[in-house]
Chain A
Amino acid sequence: MHLDWTALGQVTAVSIGVTVAVVCVFALGVLGLARTDDSREHPDGARALGLTQAALCFLACAAVVAYGIYLIVPQFH
């Protein structure tokens, strides 16, 4: 029996790395949104900053989703 430990290790490392990265970036985006909600009472730079943070983070997640769709759909390869 031949067992490809390298591939198994790769799956493990990539899966954990990508999952943690995506969820953390998304959490940061949500944090940005929460900051926007908090600063609604006293609108200053914090609101714009929070919004920018959220936009950048969600954009990064959308890019990962797009790559995921690219991987799933064989016609793109």
Chain B
Amino acid sequence: MDHITFLVAVVIVTALAFDFTNGFHDTANAMATSIATGALKPRTAVLVSGMLNIAGAFLSTEVARTISGGIVDDTLVSPAMIFAGLVGAILWNLVTWLAGLPSSSSHALFGGLIGAVWVGAGADGVHFEKVVEKVLIPAVASPVVAGVAALIATYLAYKLTERARKETVTKGFRIGQIASASLVSLAHGTNDAQKTMGVITLTLISAGALGHEAGPPVWVIASAGLAIGLGTYLGGWRIIRTMGKGLTEIQSPQGFAAETASTTVILTSAHLGFALSTTQVASGSILGAGLGRRLAEVRWGVAGRMVAAWLITLPAAALVGGLAASVVKHGGNAGTAVIALVALALATVIVLASRRNPVHANNVNDDQAVTLRTAAPTHVGTAA
């Protein structure tokens, strides 16, 4: 293992940390509506989701061959840039989590990498037309498709069952939700855990620790699966509250329609080779389900803030990634250590800030809004 330098070790740890934030950021995609409608108890939901994410990680053999899918020139990417990009992605994931905003972990990762490559290797290393094709178009199209599907399905579900007994309908769809939410989790595990595996494997290859065509070693699969599963289990309760309660009041037929729409959009896209963000698909489905039930209220203010977060995710992560890359580029190993420490400090500050008004399994359904303060506001201490 003498190929594992200090930098490579740091990259692996950072990649696993990103995987962890990815997990707790995205629990909401699969489980928010099930938790909101009472189909699953909060702790059961995150446990099921975490297990399925780990299972998904072991099931996916097709690990990403490129880190970015062609968005940046992979031949120019060094472990230092990967590290800087991951730091950008992690910090952005934490900031949006603090604000309770569902934003795309994939976009954060892409953004961080774009920023790091731009600074580390010049603007030529970034393929902007690929960014449009692989990130922007799916980002616009997929939530709309999922939303329309969920809207029509919700409308018809209520139309079909309007004369039936309400308790039977609610109970029936609740049971259906358990299956639909589990499928979203499994699909998520196979997609997202392999992103981290790809990053670690490619770093090991570039460091010479693995052969060129090597697949991920078992310890990489296991640690990536565990990191995302643990993150999912700890649950991003702040985001679950926003998606389950904040966007609209969800009832079980809507939850079932939303989860079915998410699953089908994710699976058909993956089948046809479209990269998309699970987060945006799930949010689109929930909005569609909200509109599909007559008189259901959609809180456009929350939806607007969420879309704003989507728009700035990539540039914001790119900025942090670029900043980190410039320090690492000029500072070498010392620079890497400084960035790692600064990132750790910022992460601690964010976690401490979240403690001021924590959201957890026991109070996730009590309120619609995720705020930072409990008493009268003195100042708002977040950049988001």
Contact = CB atoms under 8 A, between A and B. Distances in A.
Contacts of B183: 65, 68-69, 72
A69 B186 contact: yes
Interface residues of A, number: 37
Nearest to A1: B129
Interface string B159-190: 01100110011001100100100010011001
B132 A1 contact: yes
B39 to A, nearest CB: 13
A55 interface: no
A28 interface: yes
B267 A19 contact: no
B308 interface: no
Given A1-B129, A68-B183, A68-B263, A26 B256 contact: yes
Nearest to A62: B179
Interface residues of B, number: 50
Contacts of A38: 165
Interface string B310-347: 00000000000000000000000000000000000000
B160 A27 contact: yes
Given A19-B150, A24-B160, A28-B160, A68 B267 contact: yes
B369 interface: no
Interface in A26-51: 26-31, 33-35, 37-38
6 contacts: A7-B273, A8-B141, A16-B149, A37-B165, A68-B263, A68-B267
Interface of B: 56, 59-62, 129, 132-133, 137, 141, 145-146, 148-150, 152-154, 156-157, 160-161, 164-165, 168-169, 172-173, 176, 179, 183, 186-187, 190, 253, 256-257, 260-261, 263-265, 267-274
Given A30-B172, A72-B56, 19 more contacts: A1-B129, A1-B132, A8-B137, A8-B274, A11-B265, A15-B264, A19-B260, A24-B160, A27-B157, A29-B172, A30-B173, A31-B164, A34-B172, A35-B164, A37-B165, A68-B183, A73-B190, A74-B59, A75-B59
